[in-house]
Amino acid sequence: MNLTEPVESLKGVGPKTAEILRKVGIKTTRDFFYNLPRDYENFQQANSIMEIRPGKVTIRGKIDSLTTRRTRRRNLSITEGVVRDKTGAVKVVWFNQSYRTKQFEKDKEYFFTGNYELKNGRFSLISPSAALVADIGPRMGLSPIYVAHGRIRSMDFQRLVEKSRALFNSIPDLLPTVKTGVRKEALFKAHFPESLKTAAKAREYLAYEELFSLILAAKLNRRENEKLRATPVPFQAKEVKRFVDSLPFKLTNAQRLASWEIFQNMENETPMNRLLQGDVGSGKTMVAAMAAYAAALARKQVAFLAPTAILAKQHYDKFAQLLGNFGVSVALLTGATKGKAELKREIRSGRIQVVIGTHALLTDDTEFADLALVIIDEQHRFGVNQRQKLVLKSPKDTAPHLLMMTATPIPRSLQLTVFGDLDVSILGELPKGRQPISTKIMAETAAKEELYPKMREILGTGQQIYWISKAIEDGVGADGAKSEVTSVKTRTKRLREVFPEAKVEFLHGKMKPAEKDEVMERFSRGEIQILVSTTVVEVGVDVPNANLMVIENSESYGLAQLHQLRGRVGRGGEAGFCYLLTSGDLQPSRRLRELERSTDGFYLSEVDLKLRGPGEIYGSLQHGALDLRIASLSDTKLIHRAQADVEKFLQMGEKMLEYRELMAGIKKYQQITTLN
């Protein structure tokens, strides 16, 4: 059977139905078969009516006295009836499902499953789903539930799938398999399960198919990358060592190892494609500086992309100082940079060796003479297209070496799948002398007694404080929506009253770049004691003397973001403190409690993956298309199995192309895995 045919080709799918299906992404017969039930209604264990207790119940009986009426007040339609079996009778009620009146035949037996609860003073079965016992027969008491789409309800899907029952048999296998017919069997059993167990097994196979495709896509991307040519950057050990010796600290072992891996990659003719992962404060920027220095020594150019102007400026300051001492010319290019045209001429001529900037780096008129290394900080902030733009700036027919950095640890499962085309270096240790940050969840109302004294103590020792607020103006959230939260401006005023001895200033994303720079600079120099800011300080900002952070409305941030924010403190040798303020009297969320408990970014990312799912973590920007329908990226066992099988598959060489549906299907994954 040809799975690329339009859904109309299926029995029972007319133009109108097809239209609705297309809108929800079910365009081909393949999409139709892969539209798996979201759950199964288990009619296998029906209770007799006499036995039922409040809660979820399943009964089996005949229904009568069905009527539908409308309430005048809320214009609700209420359908009521009575279900009877040998042991008794029970009232059933549906809201806004008037079609129920016509659904049932008087003398036939149905299963009903739903909540048995007290409603309007009477125990009733509320909005149960129903299925004809005779229909359920072949499904052994399990009935699939599909996500309803517009007019097409779960039971319509059931009917359509039923009509296509015979077609399952002609679905070809997707992957090389020992036994043939594995795929059609899995699809069939997912739609017509014999038991919950066989349904789960069937779905597991389909999840495996999905993971196989994703991993294969990443591996093929890697192969493509290996076909590209880069300019080799010879490693000049003596000079690099001199540079390292000039640093005011000793490198951590992890930094040493990571830089070694990078130097080796850069010596190759194959472009480096490496992700440098390290928790906040682990010293990634220093590793980037070494890589940049190595490239500059070889008389090549480096582009360093940062997500915000503040961060670009800070990297620039650091690089200009460190590399400047060794005769490397460093420049900053952001939207606010003056004399851009002149600067771009210098970049084009090759006089500037290291360019650090924001999105301004990506414009077409930013051209390089000999770009050999691209560094991307906080890589998850950028989309594939943005990265691609930069990569294309290397000389014709070559690709630059690519070093991407992230503080968002990537769970192992994602490393094997979505990021399977990357080499990864991990900075798994923090520089010596760092003390863990103590984190505390605190009700806003307790601030006066508990928080202010702590802040006073910190200020008393000459250390500085971040206060993170959500809104820029009163009544308007950072996202522009209406908001009740205290703005940075109001908070600044209040803190000035509470701490008259301290200099309190604010920072937010709507300020002019020059103003932001100025505030940030004064904070760095210690001229500001309390910086009230929106999350613009989230990424990378490095002020080692700031050791206490207060995060207001902490419930409204994600786990990764809170961890990043918190990483701004405790960066010098002093202990760091983070207070997560909560408003209202709800229990603190699991997110906050995990954050209070652990400072291990890797652990937290695993928790985050579980709580939110991969799509959200890796941002709509980059992996919005990563729409795994069945597989879960937390299923490491299945991932490992798929990975091993992909390796075998890759050995097939040309023969891989015979798996046409598979090869065509992975194109979309190839787009979203990191390289292309």
Provide the binding-site residues for ligand ADP, judged by CB under 6 A. Answer: 249-252, 255, 278, 280-286, 407, 431, 540, 542, 544, 571
Contacted by 570, from Mg ion, ligand ADP, none: CB < 5 to 8 Å by type: none
Minimum distance, C-beta of residue 538 to Mg ion, in the bound complex (Å): 11
The single residue among 81, 540, 614, 665 that binds Mg ion, judged by CB under 5 A, is 540
Minimum distance from residue 378 beta carbon to ligand ADP (Å): 9
The entry of ligand ADP, Mg ion, none near residue 542 (CB within 5 to 8 angstroms by kind) is ligand ADP
Q: Which amino acid, residue 92? A: V
Q: Pick what 544 binds: Mg ion, ligand ADP, none; C-beta below 5 to 8 Å, kind-dependent.
A: ligand ADP
With respect to ligand ADP, which residue has the nearer C-beta, 198 or 545?
Answer: 545
Shorter beta-carbon distance to Mg ion: residue 276 or 471: 276
Closest approach, Cβ 522 to Mg ion, in A, equals 21
Stretch that binds Mg ion, among 423-431, 436-444, 537-545, 620-628 (CB under 5 A): 537-545
Dihedral sign for Cα 423, 429, 434, 437, please: positive
Q: How many whole angstroms separate alpha carbon 611 and alpha carbon 600?
A: 16
The region of 170-178, 386-394, 495-503, 540-548 touching Mg ion under the rule CB under 5 A is 540-548
Phi-psi region of 668 (alpha: psi -120 to 50; beta: other; left: phi over 0): alpha
Residue 452: name its binding partner from Mg ion, ligand ADP, none (Cβ under 5 to 8 Å by kind): none
Q: Which is nearer to ligand ADP, 255 or 674 (CB)?
A: 255
8 A C-beta contact, residue 297 and residue 243: no
The amino acid that residue 445 corresponds to is T
Q: In the complex with Mg ion, which residue's Cβ is closer, 36 or 310?
A: 310
Closest distance of CB 576 from ligand ADP, Å: 12
Binding partner selected for residue 41 from ligand ADP, Mg ion, none, CB under the kind-specific 5 to 8 Å limit? none
Q: How far is the CB of 244 from Mg ion (least distance, A)?
A: 19
571, interface contact from Mg ion, ligand ADP, none, CB < 5-8 Å by kind: ligand ADP
In the bound complex, what is the minimum distance in angstroms from residue 261's beta carbon to ligand ADP?
16
Least separation in angstroms between CB 563 and ligand ADP: 12
- The interface partner of residue 362, options being Mg ion, ligand ADP, none and the CB cut-off 5 to 8 Å by kind, is none
Residue 255 contacts which entry, Mg ion, ligand ADP, none (Cβ below 5-8 A, type-dependent): ligand ADP
Which position's Cβ is nearest Mg ion?
Answer: 540
> To 5 degrees, how large is the angle CA 641–CA 208–CA 190?
140
Of residues 413 and 524, the one with the C-beta less far from ligand ADP: 524
Binding residues for Mg ion, rule CB under 5 A, total 1
Of 202 and 258, which has the nearer Cβ to ligand ADP? 258
Q: Is 479 helix (H, G, I), strand (E, B) or coil?
A: coil
User: By C-beta, is 225 or 282 nearer to ligand ADP?
Assistant: 282
DSSP assignment string, 566-628: HTTSS-SSS-EEEEEEE-SSSPPPHHHHHHHH---HHHHHHHHHHHH-HHHHTHHHHHTT---
Closest CB 470 distance from Mg ion, rounded Å: 23
Round to whole Å and give the CA distance between 665 and 124: 48
Helix (H) or strand (E) holding 385: helix 384-391
Closest CA to 652 of 219, 328, 109, 331: 219
Residues 357 and 360: their CA atoms lie apart, in Å, by 7
Task: Name which of ligand ADP, Mg ion, none residue 271 binds, using a CB cut-off of 5 to 8 Å depending on partner kind.
Answer: none
Residue in the structure block whose two tokens are 């070093």: 403
- Binding flags for Mg ion, 495-534, as an x/- string (CB under 5 A): ----------------------------------------
Tell me the CB-side half-sphere exposure of residue 278, using CA atoms within 13 A. 28
> Closest separation between CB of residue 291 and ligand ADP, Å?
13
Residue 281 C-beta: closest distance to ligand ADP, Å: 5
Q: Among 56-64, 190-198, 511-519, 536-544, which window interacts with Mg ion (CB under 5 A)?
A: 536-544
Nearer Cβ to ligand ADP, position 13 or 289? 289
- Between 214 and 373, name the residue whose CB sits nearer to ligand ADP: 373
DSSP 3-state of 125: strand
Residue 357 contact among ligand ADP, Mg ion, none, beta carbon within 5 to 8 Å by kind: none
158 vs 285, beta carbon nearer ligand ADP: 285
Distance CA 343, CA 348 (A): 9
Query: Smallest distance, Å, CB 427 to ligand ADP?
Result: 7
Question: For strand 471-473 and strand 476-477, is the pairing parallel, antiparallel, or unpaired?
Answer: antiparallel
3-state SS of 511-554 is CCHHHHHHHHHHHHCCCCCEEEECHHHCCCCCCCCEEEEEECCH
| Residues 6 or more apart whose Cβ sits within 8 Å of residue 399 | 225, 228, 229, 230, 271, 391
Partner that binds at residue 548, options ligand ADP, Mg ion, none, CB closer than 5 to 8 Å by kind: none
Using the minimum distance from each CB to Mg ion, give the nearer residue, 314 or 386: 314
Q: Which pair of tokens denotes residue 72?
A: 């005048």
Please choose which of ligand ADP, Mg ion, none residue 278 contacts, taking the beta carbon within 5 to 8 angstroms, the exact cut-off set by kind: ligand ADP
Residue 47's H or E segment, with its range, is: none
SS3 (DSSP) at 13: coil
Cβ closest to ligand ADP, residue 322 vs residue 559? 322
The option from Mg ion, ligand ADP, none interacting with 280 (CB < 5 to 8 A, set by class) reads ligand ADP
Identify which of residues 29 and 255 has a Cβ nearer to ligand ADP in the complex. Answer: 255
Q: What b-and-e string marks burial along 591-603, b requiring 16 or more CB atoms within 10 Å of the CB?
A: bbebbeeebebee
The β-bridge partners of 122 are 119
Q: How far is the CB of 244 from ligand ADP (least distance, A)?
A: 10
Q: Is 411 in the site for Mg ion (CB under 5 A)?
A: no
Backbone angles phi, psi at 105, to 5 degrees: -100, 140
Residues 6+ apart with CB under 8 A from 576: 435, 436, 437, 438, 547, 548, 549, 566, 569, 570
Residue 410 or 662: the one with the smaller Cβ distance to Mg ion is 410
Handedness of CA 534, 540, 541, 546 (dihedral sign): positive
CB of 249 to ligand ADP, least distance (A): 4
Of Mg ion, ligand ADP, none, which one does residue 431 interact with (CB within 5 to 8 Å by kind)? ligand ADP
Three-state SS string over 237-297 comes to HHHHHHHHHHCCCCCCHHHHHHHHHHHHHHHCCCCCEEEEEECCCCCHHHHHHHHHHHHHH
* 665 phi, psi to nearest 5 deg: -70, -30
129-144 burial code (b ≥16 CB/10 A, e <16): bbbebebbeebebbbb
Q: How far is the CB of 479 from ligand ADP (least distance, A)?
A: 26
DSSP state of 148: P
Q: Smallest distance from the beta carbon of 314 to ligand ADP, in angstroms? A: 8
By the criterion CB under 5 A, which residues form the site for Mg ion? Answer: 540
